[in-house]
Chain A
C-alpha cells in the first residue's frame, strides 16, 4: 500500500511532500510523544499525531517514516511544510480524531 492509496481511501488532505506519495507504507504508529516515536517506530510506518511543529519532520526523516497524518483539523507550521517538501515525506491531514483515523488506517493496512 502506498501513501497515495491511503490518502484516497481515507480522504486525507495533502499539505506537503507530494513527491513522496509513492512511499510504501509498512505499518502505522500512533503517538504524540516524540521520544516514543523516536525510540519505537519503524521505517515505513505512517505516523498519526496531533503535533504540528518542525520536529515531527526531523523525526519522520531520521526514522524514514512513510508519511505523517495530522488529526483533528490541525495544520502543520510553515517550517514543517518546507521540510516535508524538501525530504519528500508527505504530511496529510484529517478533521477526524486520532481514534477514528487510526481505526480506519488499521483496517486498510492490516495484513
Chain B
C-alpha cells in the first residue's frame, strides 16, 4: 500500500527503564491517525507485553510496526534464548522469569496470554539459543 507507515524501534535486554517506550510512541501515532480508542487499548496491551518479554527474556531485539488503513502488523524479532515449548509458554501462569524480575512484578506468566487475547492474529516462531520472532496483527477497520 502506498500510504503505509513503518515505524522501527530497538530494544536492549534487561533495559527495564526504557521498557514501554515503543508502545508509548506507537500509541501516539495511532491516536494521531484517529484509530478507535478501544482498538488502541488492545494494541498497547499486546505490544507492551511483547516489548517487556524481549527486555526480560532476550538479549536484544528490533520492533517494526507497519500501519495501513486496514491493519497494524507489529513484528518483534529478538536475539535470545528462544522458547523451547511455545504451547507451554502460552499457558497462563507459566514463567521462567528470574527472581529479580518477579520482584519487580513481572514474570506472572500472563504476558503471552494477554497478547493472545488482544490481537486478531498472532504468530510466534522461535529457535532455541538463537531467538524469537513474534508477529501480531490487529485490524483497524
Contacts and interface: CB of A to CB of B under 8 A. Distances in A.
Given A51-B104, A55-B104, A62-B24, A33 B17 contact: no
A36 B108 contact: yes
Interface in A43-73: 43, 49, 51, 53-55, 58-59, 61-63
Given A58-B20, A79-B17, A34 B106 contact: yes
B44 A39 contact: no
22 contacts: A33-B108, A35-B106, A35-B108, A35-B114, A38-B114, A39-B45, A39-B117, A43-B41, A49-B105, A51-B105, A54-B17, A55-B16, A55-B104, A55-B106, A58-B21, A58-B23, A58-B24, A59-B20, A62-B23, A62-B27, A62-B44, A63-B44
Interface of B: 16-17, 19-21, 23-24, 27, 41, 44-45, 48-49, 52, 104-106, 108, 110-111, 113-114, 117
Interface of A: 32-36, 38-39, 43, 49, 51, 53-55, 58-59, 61-63, 79
